[in-house]
Amino acid sequence: MTSTLGRPDLPLQAPAALRRRLLDADALTARQSRADRLLASEGAGHLVHDLPVRSDGRSATLESRPWRVDPIPVVLDAGTFQWLSLAITERMLALDAVVDDLYGERNLVREGIVPAEAVAGTPRYCVDAVGTRPTRWLSTYAADVVLDAAGMWWHVADFTDAPPGLGYALLDRSVMSRVVPELAARSDVVSLGRFPARVRRALAALSDSESPRTVLYSGGLDHPSYVDHSYLAVQLGVNLVEGADLVVRQRRVWLRTLDGLEPVDVLYRRLEDRWVDPLARAPLGSIGVPGVLLANRSGGVAFGNAYGTGVLEAPEIRPFLSAAIDRVRPLTQVLPELPGAVRDFAAVPLAAGSVDPSLDATGVTIRMFAVSDGASVHVLPGGTGRVLAPGDHPAHPTACTAKDVWVLGWTPKPVIEPPRLPQVDFGRSVPTRAADALYWMNRSAERAEAMARTMRVVSARVENDPGLGGLRGGVWCDHMRSIATRSRRARLDAEALSATLDALEDELVAVGEALAVEVGVVLTEATTVREFMSVTAGRVLSHLAELRSVMQAHHTVVDDLDAVLADFAAIGGLWQESTVRGPAWRIGDTGRRLERCLVVIDLVEGALAGGLGDAAGEVEAATIEVLLAANDSLVAYRRRHRSDVEIDLALRLLLHDETNPRSVAASIDRLAAHVADGEDALGDDFVADARAALELPTAELLTRMRELIDDAGRRIVGRWFSTPVNPVPLTPTGSEQS
């Protein structure tokens, strides 16, 4: 049925009817637009924007890495895929045997098949792995293949260390199944839905525990494959963790959670060998977990893949892999090695309007994925394609365009599924870092919304009634500058007051810049806790990222601010209605309520700073209306009071009215509910002290409430997110103490 070297007997060709519909030029533009929107809605769109700041001041160096899913998939027939899957399976098993020998008996080195100087000369050979005997070296594997114009399949590269791309492949399919649902459903395209379960079982099989705890071990936001990691963790239903989330104690790995340290049995390692343990290699920042290799060698945690497997990717070793495979486990289905020179590859048409009109036809590198549970190897019935721009070598695509890979009409052999793993409820198991991100995400979201609303209200007033700027010699402008300045957590010196519209407009520009920074914090923190966010939130965050780019360019207009406010309203609604109540939600909501109190205090202080209320008049009324609108309470005021706005009634609504969700009193009530639910970090007396402060005169109330809120914030950070340092004085041995 198949040949043994590079070419299946069956041609690579989609059915004619399917091909015509996939290449329908009239539909391609709409399909591409839908693919772009769906990519964003799946939570990936906002991850590829520059996110330059985090709530704790650290820079996030994630570069903008946009990519698009082309609406024309790569189509493989059943015969082609079966041939390729057999080749991938054999190669994975053979590579497992090769790496086992390199770190074990070393017969390949002894016999000169893999030169000793090649092993000694590559930094990817991990001395710490010598003599270890993991359950399996390779639990997951990926390989790039490419088809040339003559119909010959070639092997491009192996990925054995932390094989990237499985999350991308699942994401590509999720998008395409909704871009062309009628074609995917009626064309007998093999589903990828069972593969995440196979990965979970393969990882669980690495541990002797009855119900092992598996986490996906990532390098964090700065890792080039973080989007892949984030999406895959959600599909697998496991926590996405970074080095700071883990600690080694008693030769075991533990996850830092709000309830304390919890044991981890399996690390699904998506962090490369050289970063796993800073005690084994020169450390880089906070990447890696000190002592994790000791825990692994002691049996305290299992790795998927095992430490040291990256040696198979080393350029010093690769020239000898074919001979090594022939020695330890010869192949029957051979994918020949692609030569270094660029050759002609099979054209996959990209019609004008699809992705790039200049790419009339191009080759595609296909990445295939396999997982081994020890008993059998399963190959993903699909993969992810990467478009080759003219002149590209298949190992280095530059077009930033992905393709879903469809397999038609293939029926996998029935497999006897092992018993289901016992269910464990991890609802209370919240990594400390995740809670930290949710806390600051909510605080920044509340502050950003306040800045956007203040900026929008003031800008609209200036546009609709420019005459306000001249009222009483420009006093209104000073009031607006004071409110706008306080919205961004700053203070305006009395000497800096300038009763002109130009000065007010300069201040609004400063608010816009601060808003862009705050939105960046929201996006960055949300990126690191995707598993806690609603799927719908991805689309909102992606749109917010686009608006942030507009803010950075200083092109923000009232319509843009309306869109920002709509996005934050959506985020707030999703937070309240689509996030499971639990410790993570409670801490995040605590941050939101604390910041809302500060927002009200800041804006009220800003309005009162210019002597508001000393005399009635048009300026005072206009300022009070802005104060209410900036706190989203003007409509509530007008429904409740038929008279013109008055400062005392406005302050009562903003500070004391529990029925107004934007008031300080309402936020204190919500915080009291969190305390009752177990949020003891706020302090035993916080609620009583805050309610007592609400009884004080306004000036004293604002000062006292700010002190209480600031102290509560410090308590939250100290209780949940700070690791106490206990210095231990060291006394030199064998010397007298002075």
**More confident call, 632 vs 24:** 632
Residue 121, SS3?
helix
pLDDT at 399: 72
Please determine, for residue 370, whether its predicted confidence score (pLDDT) is greater than 90.
yes
- pLDDT tens digits, 665-688: 999 999 999 998 888 788 779 999
pLDDT at 493: 66
* Alpha carbons 43 and 538: distance in angstroms, whole number: 4
Please determine, for residue 359, whether its predicted confidence score (pLDDT) is greater than 70.
no
What is the mean pLDDT of the segment spanning 484-492? 89
**More confident call, 125 vs 504:** 125
**More confident call, 63 vs 692:** 692
Residue that has been written with the tokens 């941050």 in this structure: 591
Provide the 8-state DSSP code for 656.
I
Question: Residue 617's Cα: distance from chain center in Å?
Answer: 51
Distances (CA, A) of 238 to 42, 216, 267, 274, 671: 17, 7, 11, 24, 30
Average pLDDT value for the chain: 84
Instruction: Name the domain boundary from 375, 408, 441.
Output: 408
Lowest-pLDDT range of 405-414, 604-613, 695-704, 725-734: 725-734
Residue 646 lies in a domain: yes
Give the number of domains in the chain. 2
Q: Which of 149-163, 398-412, 490-504 has the highest mean pLDDT?
A: 149-163
pLDDT at 285: 58
What is the mean pLDDT of the segment spanning 142-167? 91
pLDDT band, very low/low/confident/very high, at 470 (cuts 50, 70, 90):
low
pLDDT band, very low/low/confident/very high, at 151 (cuts 50, 70, 90):
confident
pLDDT band, very low/low/confident/very high, at 496 (cuts 50, 70, 90):
low
Please determine, for residue 62, whether its predicted confidence score (pLDDT) is greater than 80.
no
DSSP H helices, 180-272, are 181-186, 195-204, 226-236
Distance linking the first and last C-alpha atoms of the chain: 86
Please determine, for residue 604, whether its predicted confidence score (pLDDT) is greater than 90.
yes
Q: Could you tell me which residues come within 8 angstroms of residue 664 by beta carbon, excluding any fewer than 6 positions away?
A: 596, 597, 600, 601, 654, 655, 656, 694, 705
pLDDT at 413: 64
| Structural contact between residues 246 and 253, judged by C-beta atoms closer than 8 angstroms | yes
Residue 647: both structure tokens together: 């400062």
Lowest-pLDDT range of 220-229, 387-396, 724-733: 724-733
Residue 414 lies in a domain: no
| Structural contact between residues 277 and 290, judged by C-beta atoms closer than 8 angstroms | yes
Strand partners, 249: 252
Residue 374 lies in a domain: yes
**More confident call, 699 vs 555:** 699
pLDDT band, very low/low/confident/very high, at 349 (cuts 50, 70, 90):
very low
Does 398 lie in the same domain as 520? no
**More confident call, 350 vs 477:** 477
Please determine, for residue 621, whether its predicted confidence score (pLDDT) is greater than 90.
no
pLDDT band, very low/low/confident/very high, at 351 (cuts 50, 70, 90):
very low
Lowest-pLDDT range of 54-68, 489-503, 597-611, 640-654: 54-68
What is the mean pLDDT of the segment spanning 532-554? 80
pLDDT at 730: 45
Kindly calculate the radius of gyration of the chain based on its CA atoms and give it in whole angstroms.
30
pLDDT at 22: 82
**More confident call, 337 vs 22:** 337
pLDDT at 21: 84
DSSP annotation string for 76-117: EEHHHHHHHHHHHHHHHHHHHHHHHHHTTT-HHHHTTSS-HH
Residue 198 lies in a domain: yes
Q: Which of 25-29, 161-165, 389-393 has the highest mean pLDDT?
A: 161-165
pLDDT at 286: 62
Please determine, for residue 350, whether its predicted confidence score (pLDDT) is greater than 90.
no
Does 459 lie in the same domain as 335? no
pLDDT at 9: 56
Show the 3-state SS of 602-639.
HHHHHHHCCCCCCCCCHHHHHHHHHHHHHCCCHHHHHH
Biggest CA–CA distance in the chain, Å, is 97
Provide the 8-state DSSP code for 370.
E
Please determine, for residue 565, whether its predicted confidence score (pLDDT) is greater than 50.
yes
Does 672 lie in the same domain as 605? yes
Does 442 lie in the same domain as 355? no
pLDDT at 419: 53
| Structural contact between residues 435 and 721, judged by C-beta atoms closer than 8 angstroms | yes
Residue 30 lies in a domain: no
What is the mean pLDDT of the segment spanning 155-161? 96
Lowest-pLDDT range of 147-151, 252-256, 493-497: 493-497
What is the mean pLDDT of the segment spanning 263-292? 86
- Reported as half-sphere exposure (CB side, CA atoms, 13 A), residue 384 has a value of 24
Residue 518: both structure tokens together: 């705050």
**More confident call, 621 vs 196:** 196
Q: Long-range contact list for 605-612, CB < 8 A, 24+ apart?
A: 605/486, 605/702, 606/482, 606/483, 606/484, 606/485, 606/486, 606/487, 607/479, 607/482, 607/483, 608/698, 609/482, 609/486, 609/492, 610/475, 610/478, 610/479, 610/482, 612/479, 612/647
Residue 159 lies in a domain: yes
Among residues 24, 436, 512, 23, the alpha carbon closest in space to that of 256 is found at 436
Lowest-pLDDT range of 349-353, 531-535, 723-727: 349-353
Does 687 lie in the same domain as 569? yes
pLDDT at 737: 43
Lowest-pLDDT range of 260-264, 424-428, 605-609: 424-428
Does 380 lie in the same domain as 444? no
Residues spanned by the domain of 235: 16-21+52-408
Does 233 lie in the same domain as 189? yes
pLDDT band, very low/low/confident/very high, at 56 (cuts 50, 70, 90):
very low
pLDDT band, very low/low/confident/very high, at 25 (cuts 50, 70, 90):
confident
pLDDT band, very low/low/confident/very high, at 52 (cuts 50, 70, 90):
very low
Strand partners, 216: 240, 268
Does 665 lie in the same domain as 566? yes
**More confident call, 20 vs 251:** 251
Does 445 lie in the same domain as 589? yes
* Alpha carbons 530 and 43: distance in angstroms, whole number: 8
Does 602 lie in the same domain as 488? yes
Does 512 lie in the same domain as 372? no
| Structural contact between residues 433 and 245, judged by C-beta atoms closer than 8 angstroms | yes
Q: Which of 223-232, 288-297, 546-555 has the highest mean pLDDT?
A: 288-297
Does 443 lie in the same domain as 336? no
Lowest-pLDDT range of 167-176, 306-315, 357-366, 556-565: 357-366
Lowest-pLDDT range of 67-76, 86-95, 454-463: 67-76
Lowest-pLDDT range of 171-180, 256-265, 455-464, 528-537: 528-537
Distances (CA, A) of 213 to 15, 238, 301, 426: 45, 9, 10, 10
Please determine, for residue 558, whether its predicted confidence score (pLDDT) is greater than 60.
yes
Please determine, for residue 380, whether its predicted confidence score (pLDDT) is greater than 70.
yes
Residue 32 lies in a domain: no
Residue 515, SS3?
helix
Residue percentage of the chain with pLDDT more than 70? 83
Q: Could you tell me which residues come within 8 angstroms of residue 409 by beta carbon, excluding any fewer than 6 positions away?
A: 77, 78, 188, 190
Q: Could you tell me which residues come within 8 angstroms of residue 466 by beta carbon, excluding any fewer than 6 positions away?
A: 501
| Structural contact between residues 431 and 241, judged by C-beta atoms closer than 8 angstroms | yes
Please determine, for residue 428, whether its predicted confidence score (pLDDT) is greater than 70.
no
pLDDT band, very low/low/confident/very high, at 59 (cuts 50, 70, 90):
very low
* Alpha carbons 395 and 339: distance in angstroms, whole number: 11
- pLDDT tens digits, 328-348: 999 998 899 988 665 566 655
Please determine, for residue 708, whether its predicted confidence score (pLDDT) is greater than 80.
yes
**More confident call, 505 vs 99:** 99
pLDDT band, very low/low/confident/very high, at 304 (cuts 50, 70, 90):
very high
Question: Residue 700's Cα: distance from chain center in Å?
Answer: 43
Residue 6 lies in a domain: no
Residue 315: both structure tokens together: 């350029």
What is the mean pLDDT of the segment spanning 437-452? 95
pLDDT band, very low/low/confident/very high, at 82 (cuts 50, 70, 90):
very high
